[in-house]
Amino acid sequence: MKCVLNVRGMRFALLLCPLCLAGGARGQPVPDPRGEPVPEVLTPPKLIEEVPPEYPAGASGSARVVVQLDVDERGAPGNLLVLSGPQPGFDESALAAARKLRFDPARRGGQPIAVRIQYAFNFAPPAAAQPPRLEELPVNLAGRIRERGTRRKLSGIEISAAGRSAFTDREGRFELRGVPEGEPVEIVVAAPGYERFTARETIPPGQKLEVEYRLQALYSSPFEATIEGERERTEISRTTVSKEETERVPGAQGDSLKVVEDLPGVARTSPIGGGALVIRGSKPGDSVVYLDGEPIPLLYHFAALSSTFNPDLLEAIDFVPGNFSSRYGDLTGGLVEVRTRKLREEPHGYANLNLLEASALVEGAIPEVPGLSVALAGRRSYIDYILRAVLSGNTDFSLTVAPRYYDAQLRVDWRPPDNPHSFSLLALTSDDALGFVLNRPTEQDPNLSGSIDAETGFQQIRLKHEWHGDRASITTVGMYERLLLSFDVGVNNLHLLGHDTYMRNTATYDLSDAFSLAGGLDIANRRAEVSAVFRQSFLYREGEYNNQFPRPDDALVHSAPTLYTRFSPGAWVEGRIHVLPDLSLTPGVRLDLYRYGPTEPHSSWTLSPRLTARWETSEQLALKAGIGLYSEGARNGDAAYPFGNPAVVPERAWQATLGAEVRPLPGVFISAEGFYKGLYDLIVRTDAVETVGGVTRAQILDNAGIGRVFGLELLVRKELTERFFGWVAYTLSRSDRIDRPGEVRRLFDFDQTHNLTLIASYKLGRGWQIGGRLRVISGNPDTPVVGARYLANFDAYLPIYGATNSLRVPTFHQLDVRVDKTWTFEGWMLDAYLDVLNAYNHRSIEGSAYSYDFSQHAYFEGLPVVPTLGLKGSF
């Protein structure tokens, strides 16, 4: 309603009277000696209070009512009169409103006076009532969306009901406002990769309904493919595979860590030898497996049947075959970085049972302590129970300790809410044991009989602290390790008990978008008590024929329990420089110190500069290159007498890589690399003698060896999608060496010219998944036996060898197949799987075997068809 105050008539009336009086005078006015009088100021009334008039009931349209009223000296209205034409209903409402008006009265010369004014009231029909805005309505339908079977919270999922919609947050929660109440409403949830979900809900009037819906994945999988905290790429050859890709790789038997052998640059090693890690032609021991930044001594249990760490705790596996960052030292081969995931806040677990082993895991948050989560996992084989039953009647061979292995892990994470600090504890143990008795001598060595026992194991306790700021971060890891190695083979025995401590500190700082700096310190302090009785040929070295038992004519070496120490600190720094937006350089340098003792202490140090470059020319193409120096200290007692020579220096290598990465299609990744590795100061055997403290003794080892490794690597990878993943890995390489000056160049023991791996896995739907792995690999080098001589004193024959590694065993090829069927229930999943190694039963050649006098030769074969049938339930 609009009210208008009209005072024009009042002003005219007030001014008119004095003008009329002046005009009516007949004589001339007499001038006043005091001057002209100042006219008095007239101030109109001012509205100070009003009540809008009510729109008449039953009326329609607009109206204007003009009311005349007198405003007295107190500002109150009176003598109300409607001046406009009759308007029933509107006139009465206007008069009622006019009576409630209040004014500040008109004034003349500052004194209140009564005046007459006109006041207009404008009427407009009331606007239609507007419904409340949606954001003003109360939330009456809320809930959470999870994945059926895994109970995983789903974010970014749209929920619709009665024309209203919302998306779930990172916790899977949603809220809808103003959903119709008291009647059934259809709820629709639709998301890519999941079956369409509908439900009908009735919301009680005035109440809020809480619900939980679970979506069925179109191609179910109990694993997540998300990789959190992926590190910026400073290595040019880094390959990262997620847990979901590795969990169902055919031939891996459900063990993610076994997928490492299917990547470019990794040589195949015999499972009989425990699945040693050989990368880019280097000997076993030159490459290292890291678990969250610290080394793990044994990656696999014996025969490479399973890894020593529970794969369900993994997030991803990073594989770097060469030209790795300055943060890594004391190795000249390649590395595998196993990264564990954050523990889940909600309860999770699984139980897995197959023909070889049983394993289980359980984890969850501790509600009483915000941010605290705990996980416990374990695995135990039962091959020993099976073999005891099978071999119970064998009189020539009896088990004292049947083959068995176990491992266990305890993980505790504390991530206080809204806090940049986080803490983690990881305790793990692993143990393998095997023992048997030969009641009759073998044909190859008539002197060999009696017991053969072996046990390997380790325990680790790790503490980790992380701090993340806006531009900086600091990570500190400390670890204690107990290592046990024990071997008894006839008269040869070796017993080692190690107590090792490790520390790694890494700091990063982003100075700008174009430059970041990282550096750190890592320390390894190893202390081992060693006792041994052995022949030198018992300790196998690269290039030495290892298919036979130790030479009976070797003198026995006795070592009383001796303390062996190895202290190796390292410091490093590297920068990440974006020279151009698409071109980055990563220069770095590393300083390593190696000190051996405590008897005959000896120290040496190395400086290793490194540089990598990456140029992303477009979203589809990146070029990369790297060059650097690397060092590796003496291992396995090579710097401790009587096992080796305390004067040996670290082995050295320089590495160069040039390559390109292409993404021709979404989800398709191609990487091609050429590499060269020059090796020098290699530790090799020597016949030289030396005098120490006036005593002449064998020098045993020195640094006379050199070598080289070069080749090409190709990876074509179809990254994980809803239904299919796979890759093609091919390596063309040559690795050879010269052990001593003047000797001929020979192949490394694991030189494999061609190494081709094809992997494919496809989700058929309805819980079915099928996959295959085909490997075709050049046979390993072999050293021929060209004759033998008889040792009468030992009643044994000694082989006469030809040129070292001058032959090859036949090409290895094998097809592995895996089939999975998953049943999904509301809160858990059941997976039945069949993993078949060597599906077409090709008995690949693993090495040579000879009769006792070496007059007859035969190959010993690898594994036949090995099916693994199992069940895994998870929640």
In the 8-state DSSP scheme, what is residue 300? Answer: B
Let me know whether 44 and 149 are in one domain.
no
Domain check: are 70 and 209 in the same one? Answer: no
Position 384 scores a pLDDT of 80
What is the four-CA torsion angle of 59, 60, 62, 68, rounded to 10 degrees? -10
Q: Say which CATH number the domain at 176 has.
A: 2.60.40.1120
Check whether 436 has a pLDDT greater than 90.
no
Query: Strand pairing of 335-340 and 288-291?
Result: parallel
**Is residue 596 over pLDDT 70?**
yes
Query: Mean pLDDT across the chain, nearest whole number?
Result: 86
Question: What domain count does the chain have?
Answer: 3
428 and 448 co-located in one domain: yes
pLDDT in tens, 21-76: 233 333 333 444 444 555 677 889 999 998 889 999 888 889 999 999 999 999 99
Domain edge (last residue) among 185, 215, 245: 215
Q: What is the Cα gyration radius of the chain?
A: 44
Residues 756, 785 within the same domain: yes
Asked if pLDDT for residue 549 goes beyond 80, the answer is no
What is the CATH number for 15? 3.30.2420.10
Report the predicted TM-score, pTM, of the whole model to 2 decimal places. 0.77
Q: From CA 675, how far away is CA 655, in angstroms rounded?
A: 7
pLDDT tens readout for residues 613-644: 999 999 899 999 999 999 999 988 899 888 88
- Work out the pLDDT band at 392, boundaries 50, 70, 90: low
Q: Choose among 562, 160, 476: nearest CA to 168.
A: 160
- Report yes or no on 297 lying in a domain: no
Closest CA to 542 of 332, 757, 853: 332
Task: Please check whether residues 97 and 145 belong to one and the same domain.
Answer: no
What is the rounded distance in angstroms from the CA atom of residue 18 to the CA atom of residue 24? Answer: 10
Look at residue 39 in the predicted model and tell me its pLDDT. 60
Asked which of 123, 147, 166 is the last residue of a domain, the reply is 123
Are 543 and 611 within one domain? Answer: yes
Q: What percent of the chain has pLDDT over 90?
A: 57
Per the model's pLDDT, the better-predicted residue between 500 and 721 turns out to be 500
Q: Pick the more confident residue, 111 or 238.
A: 111
Q: Dig out the tokens for 213 from the structure.
A: 């819906």
- 343 plus 204 within the same structural domain: no
Helix (H), strand (E), coil (C) string for 442-511: CCCCCCCCEEEEEEEEEEEEEEEEEEECCCEEEEEEEEEEEEEEEEEECCEEEEEEEEEEEEEEEEEEEC
**Three-state secondary structure string covering 780-808:** CEECCEEEEEEECCCCEEEEEECCCCCEE
In a domain, 712, yes or no: yes
What per-residue confidence (pLDDT) applies to 589? 98
**Residue 714 forms part of a structural domain:** yes
Question: Residue 707's Cα: distance from chain center in Å?
Answer: 36
pLDDT at 328: 96
- Provide the pLDDT for residue 505: 96
Lowest mean pLDDT among 115-124, 379-388, 648-657, 824-833: 379-388
Task: Quickly state the pLDDT bin for 220 (edges 50, 70, 90).
Answer: low
Question: Is pLDDT above 70 for 835?
Answer: yes
81 and 197 inside one domain: no
| pLDDT single digits (tens) 788-817 | 999 888 788 888 889 999 999 999 999 999
pLDDT at 29: 38
Q: How confident is the model at residue 723 (pLDDT cuts 50, 70, 90)?
A: confident
Q: Which of 284-288, 460-464, 518-522 has the lowest mean pLDDT?
A: 284-288
pLDDT band at 18 (very low <50, low <70, confident <90, very high): very low
| Mean pLDDT for the stretch of residues 372-400 | 77
**Confidence class of residue 861 from pLDDT cuts 50, 70 and 90?**
confident
Q: Is residue 32 part of a domain?
A: no
Q: For residue 401, name the pLDDT band (cuts at 50, 70, 90).
A: low
In a domain, residue 250? The reply is no
The residue segments making up the domain with residue 728 are: 335-874
SS3 (DSSP) at 203: coil
3-state SS class at 711:
strand
Residues in Cβ contact with 482 at an 8 Å cutoff, skipping those fewer than 6 apart: 458, 459, 460, 497, 498, 499, 500
Domain boundary among the residues 72, 88, 123 is at 123
pLDDT(149) > 70: yes
pLDDT tens digits, 180-195: 998 999 999 988 888 8
Residues 110 and 162 in one domain: no
Burial class (CB in 10 A: 0-12, 13-18, 19+), 401: middle
- 111 and 159: one domain? no
* DSSP codes of every residue in 170-197: TTSEEEEES---SSEEEEEEE-TTB--E
- Amino acid 38: pLDDT: 52
Does residue 292 lie within any of the structural domains? no
Same domain? 100 vs 202: no
Judgement on whether residues 778 and 652 belong to the same structural domain of the protein: yes
So what's the pLDDT on residue 22?
31
pLDDT at residue 131 in the model: 67
In a domain, 533, yes or no: yes
Residue 450, pLDDT score = 59
Q: Is residue 182 part of a domain?
A: yes
Which of the residue ranges 315-324, 384-393, 713-722 would you say has the lowest mean pLDDT? 384-393
Query: 52-61, 357-366, 421-430, 773-782 — which is least confidently predicted?
Result: 52-61
